[in-house]
Amino acid sequence: MEFDTAELASLLAAVLPDVVAWRRHLHAHPEVSFHERETSAYVFETLQQFQGLQLTRPTETSVVARLIGAGHGPVLALRADMDALPITEENDVAYRSRRPGAMHACGHDAHTAMLLGTAKVLLALRDRFQGEVRFIFQPAEELPPGGAEPLCESGVMDGVDAVVGAHVWTPLPVGTVALRAGALMASSDTFEVTIRGRGGHAAQPHMGVDSLLVAAETIVNLQHIVSRNSDPLQPLVVSVTQVRAGTANNVIPEEAVFAGTVRSFDPELRRQVPGMLERIVRGVTEAHGASYELRYDFGYRPVVNDVRITGLVREALLERFGPDAVIEPEPSMGGEDFSAYLAKAPGAFFFLGAGNAAKGLVFPHHSARFDIDEDVLRIGLEAEVRTALHLMSRLAADGN
């Protein structure tokens, strides 16, 4: 590496108290997806104070900062999400949410604060690397269609050679960093099916077409998709999570609606699922004289980490944190719109362990008691800075 480790350590130590303060401010003032007005203004003003970054606001509640190094070279994008969740915080901490009904219950406050710190440190080292580091502060990771897609459409990924993102993760103990090449998180698509029958008196079922019973049979039959229609070695989830039908004990409902989610990693399988679903819905409804309407919405793509970029990130993390700390996580069927950036450039998304059982920090993401061990801020800051410096130097050496 082309920097002095003592110098880097002192830069990191100098900015860490700011990172903690930024995170606590953001935690106390959460804003839910697509409403990050104060948050994005705070990020913009903080970056402005650093002096030397080129700032833009490509979408209403996003901020992008460009840091130009010493001459022509690769372009690396680093991404943080900024949105909170519609949850009322139950933690009793000094920095607890001051807004009922909004809470940073997924740690995006930490992501934003760490990326601000990373920008400040890399700004001080701008004459040590060639090319550009682009910091993307995005809104609305939690709410499809998400904030990443419109940012990509606005051109923030133009010319980018690699993209990296990190997520704090309380199921893993603080001090660990979890990274894997290939599929990491699933695509998340949704569907809604409306079954139309013929309503009537519950005492004369033969006079109508029971939409509720047809819906029930359809839901059971959909279980064939995972258990019989798709390769058992390809992960797939088809879950019906909502059913709505009926108004009274003695009325056969005219209409029944059910909805759910589909998760997968394989793009080809993902494309096939709507057809499998419709075949079953059509078959069962026709068999019983009902009709149907199917709505299928493709959501976030799967997060698939690039082998080469993931390898370079791993090198940087191993050099600082060692083989005991750098672990390989199991893929998760959860979704992430970081995948939108991965459709534009190769990249890597990794997890920063943020839980600590000894401190009682064991609550899952999206819980009203969720909190992180703030030691992850120090680790995540250094992980991001070192990853960026290593990637810039290696991508430049490899000719992009």
Region 74-93 residues binding Ni ion, contact defined as CB under 5 A: none
Does an H or E element contain 278, and which? helix 267-287
Cβ within 8 Å of residue 21, ≥6 positions away? none
- Residue with nearest beta carbon to Ni ion: 106
Shortest CB 189 distance to Ni ion, Å: 19
Active-site residue identified among 254, 300, 336, 384: 300
CA distance 231 to 225: 10
| Closer by beta carbon to Ni ion, 106 or else 396 | 106
The one segment of 103-111, 195-203, 230-238, 310-318 that binds Ni ion by CB under 5 A: 103-111
| Closer by beta carbon to Ni ion, 105 or else 125 | 105
Amino acid found at 255: E
| Closer by beta carbon to Ni ion, 266 or else 336 | 336
The one segment of 5-13, 21-29, 104-112, 211-219 that binds Ni ion by CB under 5 A: 104-112
Shortest CB 342 distance to Ni ion, Å: 16
The one segment of 102-110, 127-135, 244-252, 314-322 that binds Ni ion by CB under 5 A: 102-110
Whether 255 is catalytic: no
| Of residues 191, 166, 172, the one with CA closest to residue 384 | 166
Local structure of residue 103 (DSSP, 8 states)? B
State yes or no: residue 106 binds Ni ion (CB under 5 A). yes
| Closer by beta carbon to Ni ion, 111 or else 320 | 111
CA distance 172 to 165: 17
Region 114-173 residues binding Ni ion, contact defined as CB under 5 A: none
Q: What's the angle, vertex CA 114, arms to CA 113 and CA 116, rounded to 5?
A: 65
Give yes or no for a contact between 192 and 258, defined as CB atoms under 8 angstroms apart.
yes
State yes or no: residue 326 binds Ni ion (CB under 5 A). no
The one segment of 105-113, 149-157, 205-213, 297-305 that binds Ni ion by CB under 5 A: 105-113
Give the DSSP letter string of 155-223: TTTTT-SEEEEEEEEEEEETT-EE--SEEEE-EEEEEEEEEE-B-EETT-GGGSB-HHHHHHHHHHHHH
Could you give the strand order of the β-sheet that contains 187-196, starting from the edge strand earlier in sequence?
A: 236-245, 255-264, 187-196, 291-300
14: helix, coil or strand? helix
| Closer by beta carbon to Ni ion, 83 or else 254 | 83
Tokens found for residue 113: 């604060």
Whether 300 is catalytic: yes
Shortest CB 315 distance to Ni ion, Å: 26
Q: How many residues bind Ni ion (CB under 5 A)?
A: 1
Shortest CB 108 distance to Ni ion, Å: 6
Shortest CB 252 distance to Ni ion, Å: 43
Phi, psi of 99 (to 5 degrees): -125, 105
| Closer by beta carbon to Ni ion, 22 or else 338 | 338
Catalytic site positions: 300, 374
Residues in contact with Ni ion by CB under 5 A are: 106
